[in-house]
Structure formats: structure tokens, C-alpha cells
Amino acid sequence: MAGVTRAEGRPTSTRRITFYVALAVFAQESTWNFYDNRVPELLRDHVASAAVIGLLMGMDNLLGVFIQPYMGNRSDNTRTSWGRRIPYLAVLMPVGAGLFLLIPHATSLGWLILVIFLYALVMNSFRPVSESLMPDFIAPERRSRANAAVKTASALTTIVAALVSLLLVDDHPKLAFAVPAALMLMAAGVLVWRVRDSRSPAYQAALAEDAEASKAANGEAAVKVRMWSIIRDVLVDPDRSRVLLIVAVFVFASAWFSSRSLLTPYGVQVLGLSDGEAGGLTLPSGIAYIAAAFPAAFLAERFGRLRVIAAGIAVFTLALAFASLFRDPTVTVVAMCVAAAGAAAFTINAVVVLWNLAPSSRVLGTYSGLYTVGWASGGIAGPGLVGLAVDLTGWHLLLLHIAILSAAAAVLVVHIDRRRRAAGLQEGAR
């Protein structure tokens, strides 16, 4: 395999591939953020029910639970001269950009629902593919800092969406959709031009494993690793680390999405703010998240990812518990900033731990999809569960309910860490 790598050229450097993956994520998240900003208003032109609009806006998370593991696994099993990820990105990113451009031109409710469904389907199809490029190229010990760069790029898209809304939406509502679409087309062009994941260490390792599997099967093709066999392996593994980590992702995602989606009514009902003032409670926390991303990565590489994840969840929990005792707008904003910094420790490192627990380079895309199952499921279920608790106890206990939920995630992560240390295992299996 060394000869193959030399023939194709020098492998892409860590910084370069981090930039390219960050560019891809920045482009696709720019469309998602603008989608979240504008599509509810487009739906409101046709639908009066907030519940119906909410269901339609949640469709992308539901699709992601089913589509992303499948597409991650499909890309894992793809073998081309361009590698296993780039062929999908070369096709699906331009298609996604085209569908995004069509959204404001849908003049009836039926056409609008069809276009946003197809857009969500295509975007969910290539999300695990683009995210898996990073572990394909970057060694396990360096993945946290690379993922910090990717998450920072993703967080910056909220600023892009806000600027596009501010500068274009009022006067040119249809043209505004062209800006995020153009960013995605540009990113697709750069990836296809500059990246060949056939040169990645993980792809080369997968080819070597294919050859060994074929030899063991007496020369028969033995390339495909079925998704259900991967899921079965995760579920029956006596170590339980992977399945417990996915459960922890679900629980923390439930807390995180609840803290974002329910804070505006909390600000109105408990803090006495106007709708606009309450909607701005989370804005400073976005800056805090970006500021904490790289420190969370470096600390994880220094002290261990599971320990830093547990500490980050503890910070998130304590910040919200403190804010629940002192119901003041300033305290709430500061607490949300501290909580966001703690959440960065989780979001930067949890998927890296799961990648590093993968038994083979052949299944990294599938593991990206499994992470999404936990994260998106939490995003669907969490606000509803916490909302039910609020219905039973009142809005004044919202932050305490979220803190209790995140504390459960911390307990799970600490349990995983202790089990692995007691067994003499490292965080990653590779």
C-alpha cells in the first residue's frame, strides 16, 4: 500500500484537510441556518398552525436519524479512484444547492413541502459523508483539535445567516437564498478539485482490510460491511462503551436542544422580557461556544477526552442550576455563556471518542451516522420531554429540568470512563 500512496502523491496535510472539511461544513450549515431562519416564515404564508409549522421544520431531524447512518455506511463501502467520499459530495452538494434555490420559488404549500422534503433528504444524505472526511485523513490523537475547527466554522454560519437576512431578505427575498447556495457550490468545487480521499490513511487501511478479507474468503469479493452487522456489534459488545456513549449523546442532546428552543418562552414567562429581548438571550453564548472550542480540544488531548467531556457537562449542569436559583436576565445570559463553553467540551470531543472506538477504518462513515442518530433523536425528543415537565411544574423550573437531564449524561460518561480505565482500555480502540 505504501507504493500506492507514493504513486498518487503526498497525503493531504492535517491543516489542509481540516480547512477543506471546515469549508464543506461551513457551506452546508450556512444553508441550514438560513433555512431555519426563513422557511418558517414561508410556511406561515400558507399555514396558520404553529404546530404544523413545527412538525414540518422538524422533518429534517427525523430524516437524519434514518438517512445518515445508511449513507455513512454506503460511503464506507464505496471504492473508486477518487476515494469513497468525494464522489457523493461532487453530486449531492450541487443538487442540494439547486433545491435550496428553488425553495422561495415554490408558490403553493404542496410544492413548498415537496421542495423542503427533497432538500432535507439530499442534505442529510451527504452530511455524514463530508464529516467523515476528517477522521479518514487525521490520526485519532489529533481529531479533537481538527473537529474544533470544523465546529467553529459551523458556529460562524449563524453570523452569515443573520447578515444575509439583514442585508437582502427585505428587498430581495428570493435572491437571498442564492448566497448560501453559492457558498455550497464553491465548497463542492474546491473539494472536488483539491481532495482525493483515495489518498487518505483510512482509505488505504480499508483497502488493506479488503484484501485480507478477500484472502480469507478464498479470493471472493468481501468488501461490504453491512450496517446491521455494525449495529449488532455495537449492541452486543460486552464492553458497552459505544452503546452507552450513543445514549449519553442522546441525553445531552436532549438537554442542549431544550436549552436553545425553550429559552425564549422562559425569558417571557419568568424573566419578564419581551419576545425580542428573550430571543436574544442565547446570542452571547454563541460567541462563548466559539471561544471555548479549541481549549476544549487541547484539554481533551492533554487530560483525556472522556474526562473533559464529563467536566464540560458538569459545567453546563451547574451553570443552569445556578441560573434557576437566580431568575435574572443578566444572570441567565452569563449562565448560558458558561453553559455553552461546557457544551463545547461535549460537542467537540464526543464524536471523536466514537470514531476512535470504531473497530476499523472501514466503518468511520457509519459511526458518523450513529452519532447523528443519538444527537438528532435527542433534538427531537428533548424539547418535548422537558416541555412536558414544564407543563407539570411551571416555567420557573425549566433550567433545573434541563440541568437534571444533563447531569444524567455526565453520569453515563463518568461510568464509561471508569469502566474503560478499570479494564485497562484507552478511549479509542485504534
* Domain range annotation of the chain: 2-212, 225-422
Average pLDDT over the chain, rounded to whole? 84
Which candidate, 188, 257, 228, 200, places its Cα nearest to that of 69? 228
Average of pLDDT values for 407-428?
Answer: 84
Average of pLDDT values for 362-370?
Answer: 90
Instruction: Give the pLDDT band of residue 10 (cuts 50, 70, 90).
Output: very low
At residue 314, does pLDDT exceed 80? yes
What CATH number has the domain spanning 225-422? 1.20.1250.20
The whole-number pLDDT of residue 8 equals 38
Instruction: Give the pLDDT band of residue 416 (cuts 50, 70, 90).
Output: very high
Average of pLDDT values for 341-350?
Answer: 94
Average of pLDDT values for 8-21?
Answer: 68
What's domain 2-212's superfamily in CATH? MFS general substrate transporter like domains (1.20.1250.20)
The whole-number pLDDT of residue 429 equals 41
At residue 223, does pLDDT exceed 70? no
The whole-number pLDDT of residue 218 equals 60
pTM score, two decimals?
A: 0.84
Rounded to an integer, what distance in angstroms lies between the CA atom of residue 428 and that of residue 367? 13
Q: List the grid coordinates of 382.
A: 428533548
Instruction: Give the pLDDT band of residue 237 (cuts 50, 70, 90).
Output: confident
The whole-number pLDDT of residue 49 equals 66
Dihedral sign computed on CA atoms, order 240, 243, 249, 251: negative
Which candidate, 313, 45, 305, 337, places its Cα nearest to that of 173? 45
Same fold, 2-212 and 225-422: yes
Q: How far is CA 46 from CA 56, 108, 239, in A?
A: 12, 8, 51
Average of pLDDT values for 287-301?
Answer: 92
The whole-number pLDDT of residue 430 equals 42
At residue 166, does pLDDT exceed 80? no
Lowest mean per-residue pLDDT among 30-39, 283-292, 387-396: 30-39
At residue 198, does pLDDT exceed 50? yes
At residue 98, does pLDDT exceed 70? yes
Buried b (16+ CB within 10 A) or exposed e, 148-183: bbbbbbbbbbbebbeebbeebbeeeeeebbbbbbeb
**Higher-pLDDT residue of 389, 161:** 389
The whole-number pLDDT of residue 338 equals 96
Lowest mean per-residue pLDDT among 119-123, 213-217, 393-397, 418-422: 213-217
Which candidate, 154, 136, 147, places its Cα nearest to that of 308? 147
At residue 138, does pLDDT exceed 80? yes
The whole-number pLDDT of residue 425 equals 66
Residue 218 backbone dihedrals phi, psi, to 5 degrees: 60, 45
> What percent of the chain is modeled with pLDDT above 90?
31
CB 151 within 8 A of CB 293: yes
Name 174's Cβ contacts closer than 8 Å, sequence gap at least 6: 104, 105
